[in-house]
Amino acid sequence: MKFCGIDSIDDAEKIIGADLQIGEDELPAPGEGAFYTFRLRGCRVYAIEDGKEDLIGEVTDILDGGTPILRVGSGKDETLIPFAETMIRKIDLDGKRIEVKLPEGLRELNK
């Protein structure tokens, strides 16, 4: 990768630690069945159990690591949900809605 106007090590050292940002409209379209994880922020997360749904909260952050983790809610009501196929049942980005099936005790573990 090369940046316009950065033509030497001295030029590059001047921007160490700088953030690189591009507009959302400049991102390439994700492939079929893929999406950008930042679009999960603001989605409402519902636990689905026996046909009933329980609102857990809203995605406030995505923690990156081996498996991304959804931070849902905040403070005492925060729930950390691994972004794993076994838990995520449905994602509707246009409707800002995520349905999950959580293992027993996960919500209590987060309190």
DSSP assignment letter at 67: S
Tens of pLDDT, residues 48-90 = 988 899 999 999 999 987 889 999 987 778 899 999 888 999 9
pTM listed for this prediction: 0.75
Q: H-type helices in 6-91, by residue range?
A: 9-13
CA distance 111 to 101: 18
Helix (H) or strand (E) holding 63: strand 52-63
Domains of the chain: 35-109 (2.30.30.240)
Tens of pLDDT, residues 2-36 = 888 999 999 999 999 998 888 888 999 988 888 88
Whole-number CA gyration radius for the chain: 19
